[in-house]
């Protein structure tokens, strides 16, 4: 049986791919429907809770993954309700804006952790 962590990963990835595909194919109006907004909000909240739980269990890689999905979904929900973000360039920009800083933070955290382990 699937545990909660794997289910959150699968649902988060599928939702992120769906949103990305909807924006790239210029079907962003689909994401404004109330029922889909409810689903996106629930998935975002679930992934956020999973990310917080992963950080509390000292699983930094999984926590950063959940953080990326949460920030991506929040930016899509907020930006799609305030302005039109359709096409390939905005989606790539959102991935870069949230992916690069999270990757840099992950590298620094990994470096600090390995330095602390070497000192012990």
> Per-residue pLDDT averaged across 32-58, rounded?
84
User: Is the pLDDT score of 14 beyond 80?
Assistant: yes
Positive or negative: CA dihedral 64, 65, 71, 75? positive
d(CA 55, CA 50): 9
Q: What is the pLDDT of residue 87?
A: 66
Instruction: List Cα–Cα distances, 68 to 52, 71, 83, in angstroms.
Output: 12, 5, 22
Give me the chain's average pLDDT, please. Answer: 78
Contact 37, 75 (CB under 8 A): no
104 backbone dihedrals φ, ψ, rounded to 5°: -65, -45
User: Is the pLDDT score of 13 beyond 70?
Assistant: yes
Residues 58-113 pLDDT 10s: 777 787 788 888 888 888 777 776 666 666 777 777 777 777 777 777 777 767 76
Interacting residues of 44 by C-beta distance below 8 A, sequence separation 6+: 70, 73, 74, 77
Nearest to 43 by CA among 75, 9, 85: 9
Nearest to 45 by CA among 73, 22, 17: 73
Contact 18, 73 (CB under 8 A): no
Long-range CB contacts (within 8 A, 24+) of 89-95: 90/23, 91/20, 91/23, 91/24
Residues 46-68 pLDDT 10s: 888 888 888 777 777 787 788 88
């Amino acid at each position: 049986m699937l545990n909660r962590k794997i289910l959150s990963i699968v649902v988060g990835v599928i939702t992120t791919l769906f949103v990305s595909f909807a924006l790239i194919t210029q079907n962003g109006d689909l994401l404004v429907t109330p029922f889909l907004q409810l689903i996106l909000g629930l998935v975002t909240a679930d992934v956020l809770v999973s990310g917080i739980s992963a950080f509390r269990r000292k699983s930094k890689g999984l926590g950063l993954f959940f953080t990326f999905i949460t920030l991506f979904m929040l930016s899509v929900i907020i930006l799609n309700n305030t302005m039109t973000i359709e096409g390939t360039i905005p989606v790539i920009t959102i991935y870069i804006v949230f992916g690069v800083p999270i990757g840099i933070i992950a590298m620094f955290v990994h470096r600090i952790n390995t330095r602390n382990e070497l000192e012990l």
